[in-house]
Amino acid sequence: MAGQSALITGGAKRVGREIALALACAGANIIVHYRSSSHKAEELADELRGIGVNAWTIQADFSDTAGVESVIDRAIDLAGPVQILINNASAFPLSEFETVTFDDVVNSITTDAWAPFALGRRFGQTPDAKHIVNLIDTRVYGDYDWRHFAYHAAKNMLALFTKMSAIKLAPRVAVNGVAPGLILPPEGKPQSYIETLKYELPLQRIGDPKFVAEAVLYLVTSEFVTGQVIFVDGGRHIREAGRG
């Protein structure tokens, strides 16, 4: 991947950070997008430069739809040609079936479906684009997240956008997804928040952000895979089928 550049949305921390480190270790230059974590983004950029690649940071709030697509052009202005887009940024607000509002649904769709779609569409128009990877969620396949109703609906939409974009951006750009499962607890929650759930998984253990990064690295180095979603979930997506 030496000489290639990757834009990673929500790249300053958690899973996004691990993806940035994995791609940098493979030789890619990294543009770290953040919304509010400027200090963590700059710290990560310094760490990436220490690996021996170039790194930049870029700020954008994807709840502002007017500025979403311009992030691609801003990234190219910073780094030159960009070959890889990783749509990792996401919001995870509580919303339940009984109380979810129109605004809840619109806000989740804006950040978790529209923003990655719009970024991918604009990226696909640039001459050097090669790979797009969307971070989805294993629960959109055969399971429901009733405590995060709007988020769940938006991630379902992103899963559909991933396959549709793979068709429309072919043959030049490959579009794939990664669907993580129990990797990290929600921000502000302890590890014990998800630890008790591991026994529901076929592999009966919690994942590591590095496992997600490995799947992303595979997809952005593959020459013949598009329209696919890789589950990094310990088998969670097949749990219900196994019970049947």
Mean pLDDT of 107-132: 97
Among candidate residues 14, 17, 139, 236, the one labeled active-site is 14
Among candidate residues 104, 112, 137, 233, the one labeled active-site is 137
List of domains in the chain: 5-243 (3.40.50.720)
Decide: 9 and 32 in contact? Cβ < 8 Å.
no
**What would the pLDDT profile of 13-58 be if each residue is shown by its tens digit?**
999 999 999 999 999 999 999 999 999 999 999 999 999 999 999 9
Task: Judge whether residue 84 has pLDDT over 60.
Answer: yes
Q: Give catalytic status of residue 122 as yes or no.
A: no
Q: Give catalytic status of residue 151 as yes or no.
A: yes
Q: Give catalytic status of residue 137 as yes or no.
A: yes
Among candidate residues 17, 34, 139, 151, the one labeled active-site is 151
Length reported for the chain: 244
Mean predicted lDDT score pLDDT of the chain: 93
Q: Alpha-carbon distance 2 to 139, whole Å?
A: 35
Task: Judge whether residue 243 has pLDDT over 90.
Answer: no
